[in-house]
Amino acid sequence: MHRIEKAIEMIIESRFLTAFCGAGISVESGIPTFRGEGGLWNKYDPDCLDLDTYLYHPERTWKIIKEIFYDFFGQAKPNPAHYALVELEKIGYLKSVITQNIDNLHQDAGSTNVIEFHGNSHFFVCTSCSTKYKLAELKLTDTPPICPACGKLLKPDFIFFGEAIPALARDRAFKESELTDVMLVIGTTGEVMPASMIPYIARQQGAFIIEINPGYSAYQNGVSNIVIRQSAGEALLKIVKGVKGE
């Protein structure tokens, strides 16, 4: 049976379908991946997201962070892949989206149960008084952002290297993975722990793993039951049409 047909069959028969997403699902929104050809880490040094550097010398890295995650990414819009996941939720199959992405595009598309393993670039938190701000409330400039309430440094509310994963998101993601009987694994190399454990946890308790990725991932040697080598938008559009019997 063709892989797309198999995916459609497994989703229709699923009791607890979840999706685990990485940067690849946002490629068709114009946001580059981190790794592989044209990846961000080929162009920028990942140290720009070193936590201690930002906390103690924010002037060293803030301009690069602003350039990548706000000037460049900030205007991105959801693409057909994000909307396809919303459709799978609306027709009652998809229970949750566990995402490594910080671009808010799942929520912008209309997904209502999004677990953000690495936080969200559309929010800032004060490093001193912990007040949280929406991006829209702030006017970002080339100098590190300052808390309007207490005047101390604001930090983007996504995970920097060296920073702990938000405990609530981590626990919810692991719990959902244990309940999953079919998981869509979309656009991720599976190289960054502990997020990359999610598909392993699901597979270990018997879930059927449907991977959508035109390139490489660590899941392709024994974790994914099927690998659909197409872009997220292309594959998910066919899958949703099939699940809806169109």
Residue 125, strand partner residues: 132, 155
Phi/psi of residue 98, nearest 5 degrees? -100, 115
Of 214, 216, 210, the closest CA to residue 189 belongs to 216
When asked if residue 184 is in the footprint of ligand APR (CB under 6 A), the reply is no
When asked if residue 111 is in the footprint of ligand APR (CB under 6 A), the reply is no
Residues 89 and 113: beta-carbon distance below 8 Å: yes
Biggest distance spanned by C-alpha atoms of the chain: 61
| Nearer to ligand APR among residue 177 and residue 188 (C-beta) | 188
**Cis link prior to 194 (omega < 30° from 0)?**
yes
CB of 118 to ligand APR, least distance (A): 5
| Nearer to ligand APR among residue 23 and residue 147 (C-beta) | 23
| Nearer to ligand APR among residue 34 and residue 73 (C-beta) | 34
By CB under 6 A, how many residues form the interface with ligand APR?
25
Phi/psi of residue 24, nearest 5 degrees? -60, -30
- Exactly one of 29, 61, 96, 188 binds ligand APR (CB under 6 A); which one? 188
* Residues of this chain, 204-243, that bind ligand APR according to CB under 6 A: 212-217, 231-232
- Exactly one of 11, 19, 27, 85 binds ligand APR (CB under 6 A); which one? 27
When asked if residue 61 is in the footprint of ligand APR (CB under 6 A), the reply is no
- Helix segments in the chain, DSSP class H: 3-13, 40-43, 51-56, 58-66, 80-90, 105-109, 167-179, 197-204, 232-243
| Catalytic positions | 118
For ligand APR, which stretch binds (CB under 6 A), given 3-11, 23-31, 59-67, 133-141? Answer: 23-31
CB of 152 to ligand APR, least distance (A): 25
Q: What is the DSSP string of 98-145?
A: EE---S-HHHHHT-S-EEETTEEEEEEEETTT--EEEGGG----SSPP
**Binding region for ligand APR (CB under 6 A):** 22-24, 27-28, 33-36, 39, 100, 118, 187-189, 191-192, 212-217, 231-232
